[in-house]
Amino acid sequence: MNWDLTPSRGYFVLAAGATAGHAPSTNTAYNFGANPNLVPGTGDSAYSVLMPRAGTVKRAYGIFVVGGTLASTHAFTVSAKNNTGPVTQAISTSVVGTAVANAFNASTLSLSFVAGDGIQVRFVTPQWTTLPTVTFWTVTAEVEYT
């Protein structure tokens, strides 16, 4: 067991969307964040995770789950977004919805923010020929204090 009492250098933030499932449209930017009971939406304010302390998002790991019809083979971008900036950094530009579980990640992010800024996850859908249905999102971000 590690009994190291060194103060923590950061924390983790969980963003989730669509506990009841979501059917995204083509060529649309959606946001999700603090409230997993909200389906991803096109607005900003309701979807932010308000950050309690200044820091930098360093890594993000996520999964796009398709519980219904799988999507046609078109990659799309998932990003971390600071609404106050507004600054966006891509987590992945190659997310697809062609399987039930579609994992993605980034280990070299540098999205900075100050205490009180709103952070959210944004995904921009492609021109799908077959739309995915009953979709769910989860992203965990590692934040380092500044």
Residue-wise pLDDT tens digits, 12-63: 888 888 767 889 999 999 998 888 888 888 877 678 889 999 999 999 999 9
Cα–Cα–Cα angle for 108, 111, 116, rounded to 5 degrees:
145
CA 10/CA 119 separation, integer angstroms: 16
Q: Which of 127, 142, 136 is nearest to 9 (CA)?
A: 142
Tell me the per-residue pLDDT of 62-85, one tens digit each, with 9 for 90 and over.
999 999 999 999 999 999 999 887
CATH number belonging to domain 10-145: 2.60.120
How much is the pTM?
Answer: 0.87
CA 97/CA 99 separation, integer angstroms: 6
Amino acid at 9: R
How do the domains of the chain map onto residue ranges? 10-145
5 versus 50: the higher-pLDDT residue is 50
- Block residue for tokens 């103060």: 7
93 versus 6: the higher-pLDDT residue is 93
In this structure, what token pair is assigned to residue 109?
């992010």
